[in-house]
Structure 1
Amino acid sequence: MIPMKERKDRKEIMNGRTIRINRVPATITAILLTIVLVYFLNFHQEERPSIYGMLRSDNKVNLRKMLIAAIQAAQRGGLEIVDVANSRQLKERSKGKTAEGVNDPFTDADGRSHCVMKQGLKRIFPRVHIFSEEDKEHCQDAHSFDLDPTVLHETAIVPDVAVTAQDVTVWVDPLDATKEFTEELYEYVTTMVCVAVAGQPVIGVIHNPFSGHTAWAWVGHSMSEYLAELHKLPRADKGSDPIITISRSHTAAAQDVTRAVFGQNVNILTAAGAGYKVLQVVANNATAYLHTSIIKKWDICAGDAILRALGGAMTTLNDESINYGPNESPVNKDGLLASLTHHGDYMERVSKYRAQHNGKLR
């Protein structure tokens, strides 16, 4: 029989077979495995979180990443729109009539842009509420995208800010001003994405696919270089009277109301697309944007965020902030007034007119 200490040092008998064990390499191997395990547990927690960590982090979203994704979504949707425009295969059909009684068209560009924007955002942020104007469309084989931080300019101040996923609502307009798109009035056409937190718009993106310009802002943090340059433009030379932009699809009665509210010398700028009209206010081509009828929240949320970032305001005609939360109606029934300055003065004029006409403004 082999003595105990010699068996430990040199060999063991297992299942009738003799094997040799070298204790020194085995100890070294155990130490190395322990070091590797500690390294991964302590230094790679972000890449390999624990089950508890995954459950906890899954309830948060990063607004910096949401900004990047929102910009990319608007630009990718724009590429689809330009592609359809170049093909001249619009496949136009009608969705019915607008509140102003105007035909509300739908094209292949609306559908393709919707699928790229909605599916791309949903893949990256599966736990946030995302609403699109064309949610009834069925998407197949839509191109997706991965986050690309290079869409931000180098001087952009975009910190990592985490918020609860359930507090986030994203509003997507895949093609604003579809009627004008079918008429090849491309200056009015935009794609828009808005990120609201607890019902308040904090990130807004308005992209024109045909010029390639993207205006974006994150309230309290940063904005695109294009938006900053647009905001610096001098006021259009129209004298001291206000310039009010309204929809080109509005009836003559809407123009009469505008004159009654702001005076007979008011300058009226008719234009299409809510996104385009907000940017006219930003560029000082208009002093305010007035809409007297129903409007959808995917049309106005991005512009609301951009105006807030610039110190402006967008309210209903009851002078109330618009809530963009997931449990709210997607329809804003109370009209809107948007401006960069003198918002209170303009609202006083609106209120005075409504008091004289039993609360009506249309």
Structure 2
Amino acid sequence: MPTDKMNGRSIRINRLPATIAAILVTVLLVYFLNFHQEERPAIYGMLRSDNPNKVNLRKMLIAAIQAAQRGGLEVLDVAHSRQLKERSKGKTDEGVNDPFTDADGRSHCVMKQGLQRIFPRVQIFSEEDKEHCRQAHSFDLDPTVLHETAQVPDVEVNAPDVTVWVDPLDATKEYTEELYEYVTTMVCVAVAGRPIIGVIHSPFNGQTAWAWVGNSMSEYLANLHPQHSQKSGDLSPIITVSRSHTAGAKDLARGIFGEDVGLLTAAGAGYKVLQVVANNATAYLHTSKIKKWDICAGDAILHALGGTMTTLNDQLIHYGPDESPVNTEGLLATLERHEEYMDKLAKYRAAHNGKLA
């Protein structure tokens, strides 16, 4: 034990209490840091609102972007493994095989469970809700998914008014055929039945188009939509339709829009909306029933850009929790000239006894 001398006297310094004190301080620091590390997601992401019956839409936007991107990683992983475990869910109304793959299931579990953990009071619908997720998948809110100039205010709405629509893998058939350009993962947030936040993520090019109506949009979406392009009124119509049922699409498009109409066949509702956004098509036409998780995100994005998506009866599509998940009235989606196109469609119908085919 060391000693020190003071005024000629030896003073013994006992290090044992000091050592014990140092150990206690260290233990307390480790406990404090670990405790707050465990709590950090709730604090950093503010996963729990002061009012559990409210939903912060800024946080919902962040979570929607992350969910779509996380789902996209699962889609990529399965594609790279080539272990698709494909099976059929049956036939579509057009008689086309409706496949399901391991990517659909894995993306669904990551997207839905991740969103549900953060927003347990919000109603979330996913295309693959029948799938059982064996393990919990989650993520913590990461505001860095927003670009620095994004205008995303803290807005709260009532949780019962919010409905989320999730498409874990749009264009599964094309995914199995390795036509990856059509594949997207999508999330849409509707408030009181109206779509206000839309996210369309393209896993194979890594780009995410998102928009919050009246607030902001992703830089990719802003760049995809040319601000000073030639007005669509100066162009002959180019109509994008599904490649899975194109047999009579050309004749129908010509009948509605004239002989000079162009036809862009494509797959995936998300992809087709982005073709309208990019002015590669002047309208997206769908004449049969379609699920709302296929179209809600695109509806929100078009609305944010000043565009329109309606049924073929010119009615807005509602996405509330009590609504049917199926839109049976077809759709027309445009950035411009919507009323003009609806007039043409109405005239065609009148000339064909109310029928489109």
Q: TM-score range by the shorter chain?
A: 0.7 to 0.9
Query: Deviations along 1:293-336, whole A, 9 cap, x unmatched?
Result: 00000000000000000000000000000000000000000000
- Equivalent residues in 2 for 1:309-320 (5 A)? 309-320=304-315
What root-mean-square deviation, in Å, do the aligned CA atoms of Structure 1 and Structure 2 show?
A: 1.8
Residue deviations 1:252-310, cap 9 Å, x none?
A: 11221111101111000000000000000000000000000000000000000000000
Aligned to 2:291: 296
The amino acid across from 1:118 in the alignment is K
Give yes or no for contact 1:168–1:196 (8 Å, CA) kept in 2: yes
Unaligned runs of 5+ in 2: 1-41
Aligned to 1:65: 59
Aligned-partner residue type, residue 309 of structure 2: M
Cα deviation code 1:33-89 (max 9, x no counterpart): xxxxxxxxxxxxx98xxxxxx997111000000000000000000000000000000
Of 273, 278, 284 in structure 2, the residue corresponding to residue 283 of structure 1 is 278
In the alignment, structure 1 residue 193 sits paired with structure 2 residue 187: yes
TM-score w.r.t. the length of structure 2 is 0.84
**Aligned twin of 1:127:** 121
1:254 corresponds, among 240, 243, 249, to 249
Counterpart for residue 336 of structure 1: 331
Gaps in structure 1 of 5+ consecutive residues: 1-45, 48-53
Match among 223, 234, 246 for residue 229 of structure 1: 223
Aligned to 1:34: none
Q: CA deviation digits over 1:207-238, x for unaligned, max 9?
A: 00010000000000000000000001746999
Q: Quick check: 1:214 aligned with 2:208?
A: yes
Structure-2 change in CA distance of 1:142 and 1:327 (3 Å) = same
2:89 corresponding residue in structure 1: 95
CA distance in 2, matches of 1:252, 1:180: 18
Which residue of structure 2 aligns with residue 105 of structure 1? Answer: 99
Farther off after superposition, 232-241 or 55-64: 232-241
In structure 2, the CA distance between the partners of 1:283 and 1:77, relative to structure 1 (3 Å rule), is same
1:24 maps to none
Q: Distance in 2 between matches of 1:55 and 1:117?
A: 21
Query: Hey, what's the Cα distance between the residues in 2 that align with 1:145 and 1:179?
Result: 28
Alignment deviations for residues 110-132 of structure 1 (CA, whole Å, 9 cap, x no partner): 00000000000000000011000
1:145-224 alignment, distance < 5 Å: 145-224=139-218
Deviations, residues 148-167 of structure 1 (Å, cap 9, x unaligned): 00000000000000000000
Greater radius of gyration (CA)? 1
Distance 1:271 1:55, change over 3 A: closer
What is the aligned partner in structure 2 of residue 265 from structure 1? 260
Is the contact made by 1:236 and 1:284 (CA closer than 8 Å) also made in structure 2?
A: no
1:190-213 deviation per Cα after TM superposition (whole angstroms, max 9, x unaligned): 000000000000000000001000
* Matching residue's letter, 1:299: D
Q: 3-state DSSP class of the match of 1:324?
A: coil
Aligned to 2:10: none
Displacement of 1:99? 1.6
Residues in 2 aligned to 1:170 and 1:57: alpha-carbon distance in whole angstroms: 19
**Partner in structure 1 of residue 239 of structure 2:** 244
Report sequence identity in percent.
78
Partner letter of residue 148 of structure 2? E
Instruction: Work out the CA distance in 2 between the residues paired with 1:302 and 1:238.
Output: 26
Q: CA deviation at 1:143?
A: 2.9
Deviation at 1:181, TM superposition (A): 0.2
Assess, with a 3 A threshold, how the Cα gap between structure 1 residues 218 and 235 changes in structure 2: closer, same or farther: same
Residue pair 1:315, 1:336 contacting (<8 A) in 2 also: yes
How far does residue 142 in structure 1 lie from its aligned partner after superposition? 4.1
SS in structure 2 of the partner of residue 354 of structure 1: helix
8 A Cα contact 1:236 1:286, kept in partner? no
Match of 2:29 in 1: none
- Partners of 2:335 and 2:287 lie apart in 1 by 19
CA distance in 1, matches of 2:91, 2:49: 46
The code of the aligned residue for 2:176 comes to T
Q: Distance in 2 between the 1:85 and 1:238 partners?
A: 41
Is contact 2:49–2:55 with CA below 8 Å preserved after alignment? no
Shift of the 345–67 alpha-carbon distance from structure 1 to 2, 3 Å rule, reads same
**Contact 1:254 1:292 (8 Å CA) reproduced:** no
SS at match of 1:249: helix
